[in-house]
Amino acid sequence: DIQMTQSPSSLSASVGDRVTITCRASQNINNYLAWYQQKPGKAPNILIYAASSLQSGVPSRFSGSGSGTDFTLTISSLQPEDFATYYCQQSYSARLVFGGGTKVEIK
Amino acid sequence: EVQLVQSGAELKKPGESLKISCKGSGYSFITYWIAWVRQMPGKGLEWMGIIYPGDSDTRYGPSFQGQVTISVDKSTNTAYLQWSSLKASDTAIYYCARREQQLVGDFYHYYMDVWGKGTTVTVSS
């Protein structure tokens, strides 16, 4: 099975900061990669699919890049509502495995 | 409005059986795969498995094969996740989610676009 590894597992940042989260796949998954945001006590919410396609309604400060095994989620200017946990998920294989998550906390 | 409505919280004892539900509305239920995702207390998301309501084709994650059963009732637009004998380690929040597909270039990409609010399952003696 494909394994997904995120880094860092947590980070502290301030409002207005540029934040980058990395996700690495254990094998080539082309651009079959999605990113989700989860806030405490809530279900996850899709942000990006196909590595770089922004889901409708998601603010443009979120962007994704990468292909093959290495991917990045970038928040260009962190807002108070962005403090949450972020997960990547591969969709190359039928078993849609998630990464371990990155918690973005307030500095 | 497209939504998935999950059944309520459960408190069970080890060894008991359980079946939780996820009812879809506002869309053609039989044409979208429904996935189940586990989140243990303070932990990340784990993909358990997925079912296609149109023909009940089901796939399981390796850690969940043989541990749970995913099923569907097309007549009521409801997907189910069940256990025959619960363990304390099954304590978690369980989410159902709809799998969307989008054509990007020449290929379809898949992601979970609609989620239920989650069902909290607590297993304790």
Record: contact B45-A95, CB cut-off 8 A:
no
Q: What percent of chain B has pLDDT over 70?
A: 100
In the numeric block, which tokens belong to residue A98?
């998630």
3 state SS of B89? helix
| DSSP codes, B57-78 | EEEE-TTTTTT-EEEEEGGGTE
In the numeric block, which tokens belong to residue A85?
């946990």
In the numeric block, which tokens belong to residue B52?
């296609």
pLDDT at B28: 97
Count contacts between A and B (CB, < 8 Å): 74
Statement: residue A3 has pLDDT above 90: yes
B28 touches chain A (CB under 8 A): no
Q: Which tens digits make up the pLDDT trace of B21-68?
A: 999 999 999 999 999 999 999 999 999 999 999 999 999 999 999 999
A interface with B, Cβ–Cβ below 8 Å: 1, 31-32, 34, 36, 38, 43-46, 49-50, 53, 55, 85, 87, 89, 91, 94-101
